[in-house]
């Protein structure tokens, strides 16, 4: 992994920060893009001379190609790109306000696609590279507690499937990382249980999956055993089981 050129978008999230630290320890050159200027500046200082980056508002869709071009110029090309930004939003509010529903869809689907298009075109021209996107197990089945967020992630999963088949002949790996719940600031209001993972362990798993170039992967791995059951439970039975269909 020495001197791999790595782009991380959403780099100031808890998980992405741990991924950046991991790649830095392995000698990669990093370009980090985050929304929080203070956190980004502190992370760049911590990682040292091989890390550079910039702040960006991912909701500014028209500016997405420039973000990718800035990274390309800074790194001289991109070997690994990880899109890691997202937001749960307020499910109850999204059921009453289109403004909130649209915000969830824009943050978790539309803004990601805006970055994927120039990234995919760049890696296609290079005929090499790995493109990873963090999605969620919530995208595998709609549940009352988070179906607005889940719909955005489910749409992103389908988009990634098509993109993967488009780019495979070019030698470009397209990786969908379906994460279960992780103990981060984004889930600070959630009651924690044994299924919640820790950011550093999740980051190690993400790096392993990206290195393999595997098409889809559940992180942590045990969600790959759980989610087929959740996905294929008949709807009437699903609705009768509070731990699946409850708020």
Catalytic annotation, residues: 149
Q: How far apart are CA 131 and CA 122, in angstroms?
A: 11
DSSP letters, 85-96, are ------HHHHTT
List, in sequence order, every residue forming a beta bridge with 33; answer none if it has no partner: 9, 54
Torsion of CA 44, 46, 47, 51, to 10 degrees: 20
Neighbours of 95 (CB within 10 A): 12
Q: How far apart are CA 182 and CA 184, in angstroms?
A: 6
Q: Residue 112 to residues 44, 47, 97, 144, 148: CA-CA distances in angstroms?
A: 23, 25, 22, 24, 16
């Amino acid at each position: 992994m020495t001197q791999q050129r790595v782009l991380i978008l959403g780099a100031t999230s808890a998980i992405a920060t741990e991924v950046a630290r991991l790649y830095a320890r392995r000698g990669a050159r990093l370009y980090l893009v985050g929304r929080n200027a203070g956190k980004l500046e502190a992370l760049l200082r911590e990682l040292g001379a091989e890390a550079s980056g910039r702040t960006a508002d991912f909701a500014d869709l028209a500016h997405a190609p420039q973000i990718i071009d800035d990274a390309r110029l800074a790194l001289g090309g991109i070997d690994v790109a990880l899109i890691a930004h997202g937001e749960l939003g307020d499910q109850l509010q999204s059921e009453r306000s289109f403004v909130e529903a649209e915000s969830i869809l824009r943050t978790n689907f539309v803004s990601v696609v805006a970055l994927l298009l120039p990234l995919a075109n760049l890696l296609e021209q290079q005929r090499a590279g790995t493109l990873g996107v963090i999605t969620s197990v919530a995208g595998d089945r709609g549940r009352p507690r988070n179906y607005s967020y889940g719909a955005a992630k489910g749409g992103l999963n389908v988009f990634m499937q098509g993109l993967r088949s488009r780019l495979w002949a070019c030698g470009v790996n397209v990786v969908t990382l379906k994460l279960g719940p992780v103990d981060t600031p984004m889930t600070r209001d959630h009651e924690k249980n044994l299924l919640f993972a820790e950011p550093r362990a999740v980051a190690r798993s993400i790096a392993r999956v990206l290195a393999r170039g595997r098409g889809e992967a559940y992180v942590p791995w045990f969600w790959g055993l759980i989610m087929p059951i959740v996905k294929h439970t008949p709807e009437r039975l699903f609705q009768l089981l509070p731990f699946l269909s409850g708020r």
